[in-house]
Structure 1
Amino acid sequence: MKFALFFLAEYAHMITGSALLVCLFLGGWEPIPFVSVFHEGSWLSNLIGYNSWLAALIKFHVVWGKVALMLVLYMVVRWTLPRFRFDQLMQMAWRWLVPVGMVMVLVAGLMAALNLRIDPADGLFSGHNYLTLLAHLVANGVVLAAILWILSRSRTPVTGREGNLPPVDVRPAAG
């Protein structure tokens, strides 16, 4: 029973994480992320009603459809990529992810200091916001290019094996 509860908890974690990802980053109940289809006065809300049960049913199915797609993506990634040991993950985090995160915080601070902010009142793809998005894309591209250049200059081959392990003394079996 404990074994089954472990896997139940793992799948509950996957569903919760996927639902949170959908709500935070994939637009929630909007069929197209960050393009409002269900606002008052839109063609869809005029067709089926803004607060009708049909609109709620459509929104419910859109959210759970996105959650199901995220679960499929989650499983495909788990099934295809090799698993890392915790020491490998920690080494990657401290060598690469934490410094890259610090650089990205500095880039975001620089963009904010240059007053390159997105104004939600203007709409996402208005003139000023479009140039701001383009500036952010260029800044992220420069950081990505620098990271790839640094990684390409690395002289140590990536094999997934430990090079500094002590030798193992194997004695033949008695018999």
Structure 2
Amino acid sequence: MTEAEQDHQDDAGEDDATEAEPGARPTVMVSGEIPGYEWDDARGAVRNLGYEVVGRADSSTVLIICGEGAERATKKLQEAVEYLLLCFDATRPGAFRDAVCAGEFRGGDPLPEPVKVDAQAVKAKSEAQAIRDWAKAQGYTVNAKGPIPASVRHAYRVAAKQAA
């Protein structure tokens, strides 16, 4: 999954933040999966404590809650640094549950290090997807994942040379 796809998946169902209105609830970003909680349940617990869950940081954002895989959402981590947000490490055993029971999230944990994107791996994945798309359009049978048969790769490259 690409970084952009991960950010999109992370943000699915969360509203983009807008500038805070006076008296508006403080906002938090949630990144990654919270151990022991379904996606909706974790965000519902945060909302029940009076926070609004958003996909993008703004001036009303007070915290980023980092679950498992948060390091893949590099855009959220960059925004957390930009807005000087506190981090709550929800991967620590029982930390999220304890915060919900206490009625408050306290930040101060270190932000996870963002995943380094390997440009060659991204290029190889996009080429593989282009080959799969082309092959399907040409009537070849290819799996959505896994190795692409050498004969299909060869046919794709021949067709690409002819088109150029």
TM interval, shorter chain, is under 0.3
Kindly indicate whether structure 1 or structure 2 has the higher relative contact order, using CA contacts under 8 Å at least 6 residues apart.
2
Query: What is the TM-score when the length of structure 2 is the normalising length?
Result: 0.25
Name the structure with the higher helix share.
1
Greater C-alpha Rg: 1
Name the structure with the higher strand share.
2
